[in-house]
Structure 1
Amino acid sequence: MASSYELKASARDRVGKGAARALRREGLLPAVIYGDKKPALPITIPVKETTITLHKGGFTAQIGTINIDGEKHQVIAKDYQLHPVRDDVLHVDFLRVAKGATLTVEIPVQFINEEDCPGLKKGGVLNIVRHTVEMNVPADSIPEALVLDLAKAEPGDSLHISAVDLPEGAEPTITDRDFTIATIAAPAGMKETDEGEEAEGAEEGEEEASE
């Protein structure tokens, strides 16, 4: 199971807000590792390295390694707390990842061939309904993104999950419908033109009928 990042950590025996503030003054963050039917393990991790890892993107969709005094734990970040004003990282919850496990993670959606999209060339607008999709995926093959090809999308088209070539073993948590990921909104001028053409067609039909 490949790791995308590794953070050095130490076991933490002090808990509470006061202890957390003291840790942050030392450049450390309180965190906890839980899951896999084992006791929760409070730890400290470095503020700087954790912040850099988080801002690289995909923090909650990547397998990481927490090195606690030489003992390595495979984890995935399930949640993190930010300061409401400064956006500093305050706390991280990690979930242990067992070999062969299936995880539920939010996978980002990536759009390709926008420059070739007929709908966008005609003045349409890409309306993204879902920037991420919640998926059940094997822990050892979490996709970086779900790729949606816009090469043939026309104005007014809706692009559904069925249009995505899903990685092997991965499936969305929503299985009862073919949900929409994005649409190509037609420009207002095109709508007016279409309505005008329909009206003209109706008038011609009426004239022919009267003759």
Structure 2
Amino acid sequence: MAKSYELKASLRERVGKGAARAARRENLVPAVIYGDKKPAVAINLPAKEASLTLHKGGFLSQIGTIDLDGEKVSVIAKDYHLHPVKDFLMHVDFMRVAADAQLTVEIPVKFENEATCPGLKLGGTLNIVRHTVEMIVPANAIPEAIVVDLAEAGLGSSQHISAVTLPEGCKPTITDRDFTISTIATPGGAQATEEEAEGEE
């Protein structure tokens, strides 16, 4: 299951650009919590802790806890904005998450047995068509990754979603085709784009 995090927050009494700029001057990140049929709540997060959480990776695919003045709220980050020049965190949108909810999340793809992959040992190249797969997953069991096993992948082979053992309760949002995740390109062969790889299916 994807790792979790907890961030302390305070209620933001004023909203708007002026209030947001004032919060940033105090080393706070403006944010909002919405969803679950409840009113949106404007909050401030400590900039250092929020940035550290973001840069640990997987920020948009983890269930987190916002400690809002002692009230614990389960959330998932749906969007965030970085400063276009200085690259610091400027704003975060969080969605409330009920324990029994189903979420649509981009799950990273992880490859195993690359060292023993027959196609790679013969000089082939692993061409990753999809680094993530959009999936519908249980909110209380978001997987850290889906795993593609290359133990028997030969030269010129393609690895499709049907060959992947998906975590329980998880399913891809694309259901109308057996899409390609990766290929083992032959030495000197051109790497396939996602459209070209899927066009061969």
TM-score (norm 1): 0.87
Q: Does residue 114 of structure 2 align to residue 114 of structure 1? A: yes
Any unmatched runs of 5+ in structure 1?
A: 190-211
Q: Hey, what's the Cα distance between the residues in 2 that align with 1:111 and 1:3?
A: 19
Partner amino acid for 2:81? Q
Deviation at 1:15, TM superposition (A): 1.6
1:149-160 equivalence runs, <5 A? 149-160=149-160
Contact 1:7 1:50 in 2 (8 A): yes
Equivalent position of 1:170 in the other structure: 170
Q: CA deviation at 1:18?
A: 2.1
- Structure 2 counterpart of 1:57: 57
State how far apart, in whole Å, the 1-side matches of 2:122 and 2:84 are.
42
**Residue 3 of structure 1, CA deviation:** 7.0
**Counterpart-to-counterpart distance in 1, 2:121 and 2:107:** 28
Secondary structure of 2:115's match? helix
How far apart in 2 are the matches of 1:58 and 1:2? 8
8 Å CA contact retained: 1:30, 1:91: yes
In angstroms, what is the RMSD of aligned CA positions?
1.5
Please state whether the residue corresponding to 2:166 is helix, strand or coil.
Answer: coil
SS in 2 for 1:162: helix
Query: Aligned runs of 1:1-211 on 2, under 5 Å?
Result: 4-188=4-188
Alpha carbons of structure 1 residues 2 and 85: separation in structure 2 relative to 1, 3 Å:
closer
Deviations 1:9-31 (A, max 9, x none): 01112122222121111110000
**1:94-148 alpha-carbon deviations (Å, 9 max, x no partner):** 0000120100000000011111111111111111111000000001110000000
- How many residues align? The count is 189
Per-residue CA deviations over 1:174-194 (Å, capped at 9, x if unaligned) read 0110000111111138xxxxx
- Per-residue CA deviation, residues 6-59 of structure 1 (Å, 9 max, x unaligned), is 000011121222221211111100000000011111100011101111111111
Deviation, 1:85, is 1.7
Is contact 1:30-1:43 (8 Å) kept? Answer: yes
| Structure 2 unaligned residues grouped into runs of 5+ | 190-201
Q: Percent identity?
A: 73
| Matched-pair contact (CA < 8 Å) for 1:2–1:140 | no
Distance 2:185 2:3 in 1: 40
2: CA distance between counterparts of 1:61 and 1:182? Answer: 22
> Contact 1:118 / 1:152 at 8 angstroms: preserved in 2?
yes
The answer to whether the Cα contact below 8 Å between 1:6 and 1:64 also exists between their aligned partners in 2 is: yes
2-structure distance, mates of 1:17, 1:156: 54
